[in-house]
Structure 1
Amino acid sequence: MSQGLIQGLSDTHTVANPPRRNFLKFAATISATTAGGMVLSISLPALSQSKQTQAYTEPNAKQDILAPNAFIKIDANGVVTMIMPKVEMGQGVYTSIPMLLAEELEVDVQTVKLEHAPPNDKLYADAMLGAQVTGGSTSIRALWDPMRQAGAVCRTLLISAAAQKWKVEPSACHAKSGVVYHDASGRHLGYGELVKVASTLPVPKEVPLKDPKDFKLIGTSARRLDTPDKVNGLAKFGIDAAPDKVKFAIIATSPVFGGKLISVDDSRALKMPGVLQVVKADNAVAVIGIHTWAAKRGLGALDIKWDEGKSTDVTTSDLINDLREAAKKPGAVAKKEGNATKAFKSASKTHAVVYEQPFLAHATMEPMNCTVEVGATGCDIWVGTQIPTFAQGMAAKTLGIPVEKVRLHNFLIGGGFGRRLEFDGVVQAVKIAKQVKGPVKVIWTREEDIQHDMFRPYYYDRVSAGLDADGKPVAWSHRIVGSSIMARFAPPAVKNGVDPDAVEVSADPPYELPNLYVDYVRVEPRDVPTAFWRGVGPTRGTFVVESFIDELAHLANVDPVKYRLDLLDKTPRLKTALQTAVSKSDWGQPLAKGKGRGVSVMHAFGTFLAMVVDITVNDQGEVKVDRVVSAVDCGLTVNPNTVIAQIEGGIIFGLTAVLHNEITIKHGRVEQNNFSDYRIMRINEAPAIDVHLIKSAEAPGGIGEPGTAAIGAALANAVFSATGKRIRKLPIGNQLQA
């Protein structure tokens, strides 16, 4: 989920060091299901830094626990527990965010224990997103000041408690490694010995934070706190939830988009060993069993009749034609600078192309799952979700009960990529659980997951440029045609017909373009549900902008790197990133036959990044990515290990999609159904990856999505270098092996 999600939701609130967009209230109207038509309007409260550090008292809190805010508690044994407002999806926030706290609290981050935060927007909303959401590469950016402030407030209270005990001034004391020392006498007390007194002291609203030059932990490569339990099997993901006497459900949904259930004959299924029950939920059927295998076998024994509806004749080509026709008409203006129409008329040369990017599935490693128990006292939900409060709210609405009667237990996530920003699976599981006695775990098969995902939209981009006699762009026009995810996810963000996510990067390219015109045409793909996909707007926008700028460099007969550098004066951090990546790569060195080298840059999520990709293309048109060199300026780096890992993972994720992936539709059905035909890059196909971090004193930028956003264009440009063929339609494999 990109920060483009939130553009325009409010113009009244400013947070410290805002990257570009801020707001006071996230008023989101969210479609609960892809076909059910249920709508929930959620108005979320504002969250300022001062509110994030106000005193917080747990229910039935004891006096031997210090809990001055919602993020931290210290017990009488000195054990520090952090209440984590974000969810760990593999991106490393369960280490980097505790590092912020530990830095100011003066404790070893490896000793910090973690607890999932309960759903609570008042206490745990992301100040950049306005809700308790993990997405948009905002975790560090949003918590950079508040989490350090939470640690500093707690440290201040502990020092004050020690000073009170010793009858000295707090300024005569300091904290180190979980102990408060009196400098003059050498006396010392551990944090645990101070919590009782500290918990009685008034909580300061704000205290001074460390100067970055004094950081001891931030900027170091800390070991991941979540790794040991993931290695030894103790880590708990949503799919591991195991409440007492849990049953298991496997589902089948209408194979055609928009289809409905007519009837189901379950007589054979109910005779099978381990099958307990068959239930219906909207356009789906679920078989309940004593284990997943029994439920899966029972599902295969059902005789289901579907009303396939009006979409049975829909194919991918129909949806592309819809986009192509829509692209002939002007759209809502996203950006207008200068006079592009006039500049085109005076240009020495013009160039116009179309780029197409396909539907994509998320295909998370952990299959979609949700465990629910509906009882007399309310509802319990065990799930890994990026949107705990939204999921809780929709469950309450589905059941018609107060939200406080829905107890949501969040878990680690085995891959989100935007899929778990949706709650369709939670709503479906609640509807099934209403009909089952006791807890039931609903698990989607891989086939169900891929064929009934909420897909990255198909995008159709028309781009044209006018060049002067030296080949520099004097006019630039870009029309983006595709689905508006924001119109469903957060309607207030769509202003004057412009979806801010769909046009991100495209409407604000990093280059000096004196006459720029960008517009957006919304076209919904009939009944195909669409959703955010890792990197969202910046991923699709960067592919188009960076592919097209490469084409212009070729027309101008100028080296692609030099061409970019000459246009990047207005974005100096990006210019430095490009120069760094090039200096660390083999750019300019001769290439053998079949070899190619491509480049791209990206500025989004508060991060500046450049990539150089080396590839080999064989006689059959198969692409092997040999090496990726990336230079990253993400501001002040909290944990370099995490940044490098995220860039590496983002590159692999992006390469997989750009090389192989697409969702195609025939007779209203998704044709792909598993990793056999929705291919994932294998370990032997992974390239060597060199990541170079640029030292910066700027506020931290986001890092979860930039690697995915930047890699596509660099790879496509490398293919042109190797073959002379421009890649304007993805995936690349289809274009070279056709």
Structure 2
Amino acid sequence: MPKLKRRTFILGTLGAAGALVVGWAALPARQRLVGAAPLAAAPNQAALNGWVKVSTDDAVTVMVPHAEMGQGTHTGLAMLVADEMDADFSRIRVEQASYDAIYNNQAALLDALPFQPDDDGYVKRMTRHVAGRIVREFPGLAGTGGSASIKDLWLPLRQAGASARAMLVAAAAAQWKVSASELRVEAGRIAHASGRSATFGELALAAATLPVPYDAPLKKPSQFQLIGKPARRIEAPSKLDGSARFGIDALPDGLVYASVAMCPTLGGKAKGYDASAARTLPGVRAIVALEPVAGGIGGMGGATSGGVAVIADTPFHATRALEKIAIEWEHGAAASVDSATLLDDLSRALDTQAGNTHLERGDVDAALAAAARRITAEYRVPFLAHATMEPMNCTVRFKDGKATAWIPTQAPGFARDAVAQTLGIDAENVEVVQTLLGGGFGRRYFTDFVVQAATLARAANGAPVQLIWSREADMQHDYYRPAFVCRCEAGFDAQGSLVAWKTTSAGSSMGAPAMIDMSTDGASNQAYAFPAARVAHLPVETPVSVGIWRSVAHSQNAFFVESFVDEAAHAAGQDPVAFRASLLAGNARHLAVLHRAAELAGWGTPAAPGRAHGIALHRAFGSIVAQVAEVSVDADRIRVHRVVCVVDCGVAVNPNHVKQQMESGIVFGLSAALHGEITIENGRVKQSNFHDYAPLRMNECPAIETDIVASGEAPGGVGEPGTPPIAPAVANAVFALTGRRLRTLPLRLT
């Protein structure tokens, strides 16, 4: 896939960016206001830059390059434009952007660079500058992930709104022969003291003839009218009245349906099959063998299983025919994989191998050798499935050398390339209709199901084919969050002060070949000022298909770090909050979040009888989150009653969304902390549906209180940072209540 290779090249060459810095460091950042080609507009529309179109009926359309999968991205991005334009928010519309490079998700890619978040040095600034220019050169990288949508477009969309506003004001000033400074703008209307006024729609066509200003002034925070205020989601009405269209709702004319049976062994395929009985059934159009698919990004994650699919007139006909096919399976390299044995193997690997160093501060081995006291611990986390509410699905029509694909995807550029490569056509001959997503969590960055649908479309004689995985197929053929083992060691001096910190994890690398390994995110770039420290990761690849999961490496590393920090506090004889504060001296933002969470939770005041508090603090995707869990134990069953969550995410563009995403992340993280586990025996995933891979039930959900720290910093992410701290907060509360350290997820007392 050409663009996948380009992305791999981009990230793989950033380590050599020093040579480029010489030539590029002095150049300004590439503009993101106007694309390589003019923005397409309807006859009643005027495109004012690459992001904003205004219609003669006063509708303002914002081009949105990111997927809406329940996180409120479309609304938040539209708010940035509307506020700077002084538009009527009720007249704002969103439209999926094209593949122009101005829409690339630069923040997600730049955040992967191996620098500490608090590093503001010359090398980091220049490397990010050069990397940003590289990313700006290649279209089709507008993926939705890394909690980066708002963060990435915080300035570009505000600049687009301010530029569009300036053009509309200039058009009015020219028509009325007055100074632009005499005009005021409010709710999509421009007015003059003389009484003359006009709507955006009335001025749009004239404004489009004017030069685009690249330096229109932005509002000061005190001037914001929408940013920072609660707003309802743009797509909410369509979800309420049923008109919203997810991938599963695509209904092009002539639609036929496909069902697939995939090899139960991970990475296996059909060796042969007898479909004679299926072919005689009514409605059956074709039966197609599907090869295993490497649907990852730049080679990441391995391949999912091959299988056999039936194309038929209805889903019922396809499913019934599939049941009549006798398939002989060829079980691949994963046939001997056992998840319990794999975790033991990871632990044994740490006995003899030191891994790759991702952070080194001082001489940690000397500090440990000289320590008056040392403690050690080993933590384990299992494979996890994404289990999105909408299972994997894709609809593809291939006719006359061109394809249209209706896809709930987080990466439309990658999906388009996957369709093109599968069908042997140029990407320019593939149209991707990006629908709403019924959950993503990283799973819909992968293209295995897209390749399957495109393969089936080639056999459908021009009819569009809709492939919908069953829940069982979705659960048993995922790109799983990898299983990891982590060894931790800490040393203390005679006074009980921490003098050394050492962690080494083992498991799959979190990244593709030739790309930056992000396996220690949340461990190597945490905020604690350890006097001497080493953080390392030992890559151990397996035949299990693995991938990115909500909060990526932070999901396991927050559990490792915050659990062991709690152990260190206990070993030092200190209060867990005070101990953390001592390691954060001078870090005002983290300290404020930590102390606010403790205050709101009533830390230091005894909890209700039979309950205890546990705390965790974690920085991820530019935001800082502290959570305090109030926990009880009844008959070896852990019950979480209350969670206090404090978040500093910079400017909270829409506080409603921030609170919703913190609540969502906590529920998602609690599901994994208390229940989540994918177990594999003989290469087969045992779990098949929500009865044995259970999400948090309503009667288990705690009361969640979210407090947003007021901040003038640029926005951080909110879609993922709420997930990592909850597991260690609960585990630490269980220790405070019972004296037992639970070092393996999911948390179990028996």
Question: Do they superpose with TM above 0.5?
Answer: yes
Give the secondary-structure state (helix, strand or coil) at the position aligned to 2:14: coil
Task: Please list every run of at least 4 consecutive aligned residues from structure 1 whose deviation after the TM superposition is greater than 6 angstroms.
Answer: 5-8, 11-14
1:166-565 alignment to 2 at 5 Å?
166-183=176-193, 185-282=194-291, 283-328=306-351, 329-437=353-461, 438-488=463-513, 491-493=514-516, 499=517, 501-525=518-542, 527-565=543-581
Gaps of 5+ in 2: 1-8, 110-134, 136-140, 292-305
Counterpart position of 2:644: 629
Aligned equivalents of 2:33 and 2:231: distance in 1? 25
Q: Say which of 688, 692, 715 aligns to 2:703.
A: 688
Counterpart position of 2:33: 52
Q: Are the aligned partners of 1:50 and 1:206 in contact in 2 as well (CA < 8 Å)?
A: no
Give the secondary-structure state (helix, strand or coil) at the position aligned to 1:461: strand
Counterpart position of 2:165: 155
Which moved further from structure 2: 679-688 or 315-324?
A: 315-324
Q: Say which of 2, 10, 14 aligns to 1:10.
A: 14
Question: Is structure 2 residue 96 aligned with structure 1 residue 116?
Answer: yes
Q: Are the aligned partners of 2:41 and 2:53 in contact in 1 as well (CA < 8 Å)?
A: no
Aligned equivalents of 2:10 and 2:676: distance in 1? 28
Aligned equivalents of 1:595 and 1:143: distance in 2? 43
1:47 is displaced (CA, Å) by 12
**Equivalent AA in structure 1 for residue 509 of structure 2:** S
1:197 is displaced (CA, Å) by 1.1
Counterpart position of 1:655: 670
Q: Write the deviation string for residues 654-694 of structure 1: whole angstroms up to 9, x where unpaired.
A: 00011001111111100111111101111121110000111
Which moved further from structure 2: 102-111 or 530-539?
A: 102-111
Aligned equivalents of 2:10 and 2:696: distance in 1? 32
Q: Are the aligned partners of 1:471 and 1:553 in contact in 2 as well (CA < 8 Å)?
A: no
1:503 is displaced (CA, Å) by 0.7
Q: Write the deviation string for residues 110-149 of structure 1: whole angstroms up to 9, x where unpaired.
A: 320122223x042411122342110001011100000000
1:559-708 alignment to 2 at 5 Å?
559-591=575-607, 594-619=610-635, 621-708=636-723
Q: Write the deviation string for residues 162-185 of structure 1: whole angstroms up to 9, x where unpaired.
A: 0000111212212111111123x1
% identical equivalent positions: 42
- When residues 436 and 385 of structure 1 are mapped into structure 2, their CA distance, relative to the original with a 3 A threshold, is same
**Equivalent AA in structure 1 for residue 92 of structure 2:** V
1:61 is displaced (CA, Å) by 5.4
Give the secondary-structure state (helix, strand or coil) at the position aligned to 1:234: coil
1:587 is displaced (CA, Å) by 1.7
Give the secondary-structure state (helix, strand or coil) at the position aligned to 1:409: strand
Q: Are the aligned partners of 1:54 and 1:205 in contact in 2 as well (CA < 8 Å)?
A: no
Q: Are the aligned partners of 2:40 and 2:47 in contact in 1 as well (CA < 8 Å)?
A: no
Equivalent pairs counted in the alignment come to 691
Q: Are the aligned partners of 1:360 and 1:662 in contact in 2 as well (CA < 8 Å)?
A: yes
Aligned equivalents of 2:337 and 2:211: distance in 1? 65
1:55 is displaced (CA, Å) by 8.5
Counterpart position of 2:57: 77
Aligned equivalents of 1:49 and 1:635: distance in 2? 25
Gaps of 5+ in 1: 15-21, 26-45, 494-498
Q: Write the deviation string for residues 676-729 of structure 1: whole angstroms up to 9, x where unpaired.
A: 110111112111000011101111111000110111110111111222211111
Which moved further from structure 2: 413-422 or 296-305?
A: 296-305
Aligned equivalents of 1:325 and 1:71: distance in 2? 53
- When residues 572 and 512 of structure 1 are mapped into structure 2, their CA distance, relative to the original with a 3 A threshold, is same
Counterpart position of 2:129: none
Aligned equivalents of 2:631 and 2:347: distance in 1? 32
Aligned equivalents of 2:382 and 2:319: distance in 1? 31
Give the secondary-structure state (helix, strand or coil) at the position aligned to 1:558: coil
1:310 is displaced (CA, Å) by 4.1
Q: Write the deviation string for residues 521-553 of structure 1: whole angstroms up to 9, x where unpaired.
A: 11012x101100000112211111100000011
Q: Are the aligned partners of 1:53 and 1:149 in contact in 2 as well (CA < 8 Å)?
A: no
1:6 is displaced (CA, Å) by 9.4
Q: Are the aligned partners of 1:73 and 1:80 in contact in 2 as well (CA < 8 Å)?
A: yes
Q: Write the deviation string for residues 394-436 of structure 1: whole angstroms up to 9, x where unpaired.
A: 2111222111001111000010000001111111111121111
Q: Are the aligned partners of 2:36 and 2:100 in contact in 1 as well (CA < 8 Å)?
A: no
Q: Are the aligned partners of 1:55 and 1:203 in contact in 2 as well (CA < 8 Å)?
A: no
Counterpart position of 1:726: 741
Q: Are the aligned partners of 1:597 and 1:721 in contact in 2 as well (CA < 8 Å)?
A: yes
1:116-155 alignment to 2 at 5 Å?
116-118=96-98, 120-128=99-107, 129=109, 130=135, 131-155=141-165
1:53 is displaced (CA, Å) by 3.9
1:567 is displaced (CA, Å) by 1.3
Q: Are the aligned partners of 1:352 and 1:462 in contact in 2 as well (CA < 8 Å)?
A: yes
Q: Are the aligned partners of 1:173 and 1:181 in contact in 2 as well (CA < 8 Å)?
A: yes
Q: Say which of 80, 100, 103 aligns to 2:80.
A: 100
Counterpart position of 1:715: 730
Q: What's the C-alpha RMSD, in Å, of the aligned pairs?
A: 2.2
**Equivalent AA in structure 2 for residue 444 of structure 1:** W
Give the secondary-structure state (helix, strand or coil) at the position aligned to 2:409: coil
Counterpart position of 1:17: none
Q: Write the deviation string for residues 556-598 of structure 1: whole angstroms up to 9, x where unpaired.
A: 2211111111111142211100100111112222245542211
Aligned equivalents of 2:52 and 2:16: distance in 1? 30
Q: Are the aligned partners of 1:512 and 1:570 in contact in 2 as well (CA < 8 Å)?
A: no
Aligned equivalents of 2:74 and 2:589: distance in 1? 28
**Equivalent AA in structure 2 for residue 515 of structure 1:** A
- TM-score when scaled to structure 1? 0.90
Q: Are the aligned partners of 2:334 and 2:544 in contact in 1 as well (CA < 8 Å)?
A: no
Aligned equivalents of 1:286 and 1:695: distance in 2? 53
Aligned equivalents of 2:645 and 2:608: distance in 1? 22
Give the secondary-structure state (helix, strand or coil) at the position aligned to 1:704: coil
Aligned equivalents of 2:538 and 2:742: distance in 1? 23
Give the secondary-structure state (helix, strand or coil) at the position aligned to 1:463: strand
Q: Are the aligned partners of 1:511 and 1:570 in contact in 2 as well (CA < 8 Å)?
A: no
Aligned equivalents of 1:190 and 1:298: distance in 2? 59
Q: Write the deviation string for residues 587-617 of structure 1: whole angstroms up to 9, x where unpaired.
A: 2222455422110001121111111000111
1:88 is displaced (CA, Å) by 0.4
Aligned equivalents of 1:9 and 1:429: distance in 2? 33
1:312 is displaced (CA, Å) by 2.5
Aligned equivalents of 1:380 and 1:730: distance in 2? 42
Aligned equivalents of 1:366 and 1:471: distance in 2? 51
